[in-house]
Structure 1
Amino acid sequence: MKGWLIMYFYSAYPPMPYQQPFYNAYPAFSLTSYRQYPPIDTTLFNQSIIAMQKLMKDASLILKKLAESKEFAFKVMSAAQESHTKEVKQLIESIGIQSKVDIYYNPDGIRLTLSSKAGQIECCKLAISLRWKTFL
């Protein structure tokens, strides 16, 4: 309960006949009893989970290809450093991924953001950030 301070004082002496103990002056209440929550529907949540599993499979394909093929990794890095965004995107999509991919890069590395929809709603994104240069 943010902003509330509830203090309880206990004394070895009984309260005076005309006094009520401090803790009885403010009866306990629950904030949750005043809130109305909508009924839970897990449909979109489940669709998002399934879509995220597909994104993770695509991410795994990308990482596997980059790790196993130094030639492919060189092409991606070279195209990105020369600001050939379309070529980088074509190279990544040539792996056979099903997801939409957005590519951002700078001199330090590359970030691939895979996204998916559940029906007409964009439900989930998975970002992969890879570094290829250090500046000392």
Structure 2
Amino acid sequence: MYYVNYPGYYYVPYYPNATYWPGRQQYPPVDANLLNQSANETKKLMDDASIVLNKLAESQEYDAELMKAAQVSDTAKVEQLILSTGITSDVDINYNPDGLRLEFKSQVADMDCCKLRIALRWR
């Protein structure tokens, strides 16, 4: 072990042998199974989000109907319009005078694994 003096630092230890590092933390072996499942579930959420976004992008009549229902706080109508697009994921729908927020959620092995949030402005 050598000590190297860097400007502003006092005697920083330098270990020329990279395999030896005092106090090196040992990590358990990784299991990428849950990450893989989460990634696959998120792809499904993205597919459902894409369905909703495509509907919003292609139909101004649909957009106007959605905005009118939100303006009068008709939550059931807003939810019905979003779900009528054919999505299968669990989605939380929130809106306010400025826009729409959608949170797509999924679970793997009875625990929350992934969320996809979309925020759209209309004012």
> Does the CA contact (< 8 Å) of 2:69 and 2:75 recur in 1?
yes
| Cα distance change of structure 1 residues 27 and 83 upon mapping to structure 2, 3 Å threshold | same
Q: CA RMSD in A?
A: 2.3
CA contact (8 A) 2:4 2:14 kept: no
Q: Equivalents in 2 of 1:30, 1:52: separation in Å?
A: 39
TM-score by length of 2: 0.81
Cα deviation for residue 7 of structure 1 reads 5.5
Deviation by residue 1:80-112 (Cα, 9 ceiling, x = unmatched): 121112211111111110111101111111111
User: How many residue pairs end up in the alignment?
Assistant: 114
Question: Letter of the aligned partner of 1:8 in structure 2?
Answer: N
1:13 corresponds to which residue? Answer: none
Unmatched 5+ residue regions in structure 2?
none
CA distance in 1, matches of 2:45, 2:57: 18
1:26–1:125 CA distance, 2 compared to 1 (3 A): closer
Please report how far the alpha carbon of residue 30 of structure 1 lies from its aligned counterpart in structure 2 after TM superposition.
3.3
CA drift at 1:38:
2.1
Dislocated runs of 4+, deviation >2 Å: 25-32
Asked if residue 42 in structure 1 is aligned to residue 28 in structure 2, the reply is: no
CA distance in 2, matches of 1:83, 1:119: 35
Kindly indicate which of the two structures has a greater share of residues assigned to strand: 2
2:66 corresponds to which residue?
A: 76
Larger radius of gyration: 1
Cα distance change of structure 1 residues 52 and 26 upon mapping to structure 2, 3 Å threshold: closer
* Structure 1: gaps spanning 5 or more residues: 1-5, 10-21
CA–CA distance in structure 2, aligned partners of residues 123 and 32 of structure 1:
33
